[in-house]
């Protein structure tokens, strides 16, 4: 406990928690499969200098550090290990700067995504990354996992909006990466190295992000298909036509049924609907109408039983709510376990069919929703958490889905990260040379392996 005393002396007693009843709430994120341990302490630094102090004290004591945001992750990347110090970044929640002329902002890692989006909107600006947990996840956590969201098809994932970082290294030194300019190619791209590194290379303490002009009010198209193959063909053709909607989501029959029951509404899909495609365009005015008109025509040409477009904001938000409510709707049936695989857009239907086969094999409900515009799917397994047998079958289904994803030319994670549940799968995907390079980078920046050991590899 000497380290805890030193931390309390340096940061203040209110910034260091050792009470097991309280620290237990910081042991893990939202992924039930990932292992976790009991931390020695949870600390809440208020600024970069305090993070430096924590890193130096832990290094002197040889105690591992696990950085943590809001705990909304789905890979176990923020999970504690026995005897570690969890560094919760939630007190570092200041928006340090909003620069409308250069369309950028500087924030601390504990800023909540939704609150930040609201702040920049007052300046007529837009921060695109919108993970499903955007109403409570933090920007720092988004950066650490390179989070995505529903708008990825047009605006990309978190890395596409980050210009630079401030990072506390294992030595306790502060590294500043990136730039504030539109262009810049001086040296290695260290910013992208730290984005998605899951806290294994340093502690991110400041983030400079690029902003965009606030989009126009979106129009919305919804299309119901009798087969997943028809929905997949529509997605492929929309892309082939050169259309880039601001959102293109897909829901399978299991997801549709769960949401309709939960919201006590009908999405208009009707009986026999195998897949629902939801698209939005924020191009504004005639451009949005033209884009959605073509999308509607494509869906009809590919066999949609229903294709409907609305430019009413409230109606569009209602349809989008149905997509966002899927995980909550599935809780009615049991505990959910969401996977994260990304496949070529032309293979989406095959992934959904593969999930249907796995569902039948393991005897558990599997609902598939995802970002059709970039092929990032989220098959979600529902099981009884009190049943060891069902938990084991859910774990098998989780791995079987990853196997299908890789067999279709995909990747084991599109936005949730590797964390503590996909380490073996990472090795399979990138191979021995890729792993060797990863370990070399880790060793160079964190030679004592104190930053989030056991996450990623």
Determine what percent of the chain is predicted with pLDDT higher than 90: 92
- Say if residue 387's pLDDT is above 80: yes
Backbone phi and psi for residue 304, each to the nearest 5 degrees, phi listed first: -65, 135
Contact 29, 72 (CB under 8 A): yes
Q: Where are the domains of the chain?
A: 2-88, 95-213, 219-407
Q: DSSP labels for 257-281?
A: HHHHHHHT---S--TT--EEEEEEE
Which of the four pLDDT bands, split at 50, 70 and 90, describes residue 151? confident
Which pLDDT value is given to residue 268?
65
Which of the four pLDDT bands, split at 50, 70 and 90, describes residue 352? very high
Which pLDDT value is given to residue 233?
96
User: Which residues are CB-neighbours of 238 under 8 A, at least 6 positions away?
Assistant: 245, 248, 279, 295, 298
- Say if residue 150's pLDDT is above 90: no
In this structure, whether the domain defined by 2-88 belongs to CATH 3.30.43.10 is answered with yes
Is the alpha carbon torsion for 57, 63, 69, 71 positive or negative? negative
Which pLDDT value is given to residue 41?
98
Which pLDDT value is given to residue 270?
62
- Say if residue 7's pLDDT is above 90: yes
pLDDT digits (tens, 9 = 90+) for 367-382: 999 999 999 999 999 9
Q: What is the pTM of this model?
A: 0.93
Q: What is the DSSP letter of 198?
A: T
Which of 276, 259, 392 shows the shortest CA–CA distance to 327?
259
User: Which residues are CB-neighbours of 160 under 8 A, at least 6 positions away?
Assistant: 128
Which of 73, 70, 72 shows the shortest CA–CA distance to 419?
73
pLDDT digits (tens, 9 = 90+) for 19-30: 999 999 999 999
- Say if residue 303's pLDDT is above 80: yes
Which of the four pLDDT bands, split at 50, 70 and 90, describes residue 107? very high
> Up-side HSE of residue 11: CA atoms within 13 Å toward CB?
30
Tokens 């938990």 found at: 391
- Say if residue 271's pLDDT is above 80: no
User: Which residues are CB-neighbours of 129 under 8 A, at least 6 positions away?
Assistant: 113, 142, 147, 148, 149, 151, 155, 157, 158, 161
User: Which residues are CB-neighbours of 145 under 8 A, at least 6 positions away?
Assistant: 73, 75, 77, 158, 196, 198, 415, 416, 417
Looking at domain 95-213, which CATH architecture does it have? 2-Layer Sandwich (3.30)
CA 113 to centroid of chain Cα atoms = 12
Which of the four pLDDT bands, split at 50, 70 and 90, describes residue 269? low
Which of 394, 338, 319, 346 shows the shortest CA–CA distance to 228?
346
pLDDT digits (tens, 9 = 90+) for 186-225: 999 999 999 999 999 999 999 999 999 999 999 999 999 9
3-state secondary structure of 212: strand
Determine what percent of the chain is predicted with pLDDT higher than 70: 99
The count of residues in the chain is 457
3-state secondary structure of 74: coil
Looking at domain 219-407, which CATH architecture does it have? 3-Layer(aba) Sandwich (3.40)
Alpha-carbon gap, residue 159 to 180, rounded angstroms: 15
CA distances from 345 to 3, 85, 94, 231 (A): 51, 41, 39, 11
Which of 149, 108, 144 shows the shortest CA–CA distance to 127?
149
- Say if residue 386's pLDDT is above 90: yes
CB atoms within 10 A of CB 171: 15
- Say if residue 61's pLDDT is above 90: yes
Which of 377, 414, 373 shows the shortest CA–CA distance to 221?
373
């Amino acid at each position: 406990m000497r380290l805890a005393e030193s931390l309390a002396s340096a940061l203040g007693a209110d910034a260091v928690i050792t009470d097991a009843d309280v620290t237990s709430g910081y042991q893990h994120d939202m992924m039930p499969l990932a292992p976790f341990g009991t931390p020695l302490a949870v600390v809440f630094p208020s600024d970069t200098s305090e993070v430096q102090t924590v890193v130096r004290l832990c290094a002197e004591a040889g105690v591992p550090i696990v950085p943590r945001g809001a705990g909304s992750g789905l890979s176990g990347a923020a999970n504690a290990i026995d005897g570690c110090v969890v560094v919760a970044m939630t007190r570092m929640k200041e928006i340090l700067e909003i620069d409308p002329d250069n369309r950028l902002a500087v924030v601390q890692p504990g800023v909540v995504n939704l609150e930040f989006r609201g702040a920049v909107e007052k300046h007529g600006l837009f921060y695109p990354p919108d993970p499903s947990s955007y109403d409570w996840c933090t920007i720092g956590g988004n950066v650490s996992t390179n989070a995505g969201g529903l708008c990825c098809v047009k605006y990309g994932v978190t890395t596409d909006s980050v210009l630079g970082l401030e990072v506390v290294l294992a030595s306790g030194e502060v590294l500043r990466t990136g730039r504030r300019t539109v262009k810049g190619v001086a040296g290695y791209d260290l910013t992208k190295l730290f984005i998605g590194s899951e806290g294994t290379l340093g502690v991110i303490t400041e983030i400079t992000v690029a902003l965009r002009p606030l989009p126009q009010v979106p129009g919305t198209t919804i299309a119901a298909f009798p087969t997943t193959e028809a929905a997949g063909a529509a997605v492929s053709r929309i892309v082939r036509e050169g259309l880039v909607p601001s959102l293109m989501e897909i829901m399978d029959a299991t997801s549709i049924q769960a949401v309709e029951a939960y919201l006590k509404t009908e999405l208009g899909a009707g009986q026999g609907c195998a897949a629902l495609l939801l698209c939005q365009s924020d191009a504004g005015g005639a451009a949005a109408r033209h884009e959605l008109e073509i999308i509607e025509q494509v869906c009809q040409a590919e066999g949609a039983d229903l294709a409907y477009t609305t430019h009413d904001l409230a109606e569009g938000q209602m349809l989008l709510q149905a997509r966002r409510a899927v995980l909550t709707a599935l809780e009615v049936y049991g505990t959910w376990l969401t996977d994260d695989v990304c496949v070529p857009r032309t293979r989406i239907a095959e992934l959904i069919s593969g999930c249907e086969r796995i569902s039948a094999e393991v005897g558990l409900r599997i609902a598939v929703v995802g970002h059709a515009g970039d092929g990032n799917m989220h098959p979600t397994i529902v099981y009884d958490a009190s049943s060891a047998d069902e938990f084991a079958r859910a774990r098998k289904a989780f791995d079987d889905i990853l196997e299908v994803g890789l067999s279709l030319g995909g990747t084991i994670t599109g936005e949730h990260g590797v964390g503590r549940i996909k380490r073996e799968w990472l090795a399979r995907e990138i191979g021995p040379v890729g792993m060797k390079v990863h370990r070399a980078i880790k060793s160079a920046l964190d030679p004592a392996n104190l930053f989030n050991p056991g996450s990623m590899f």
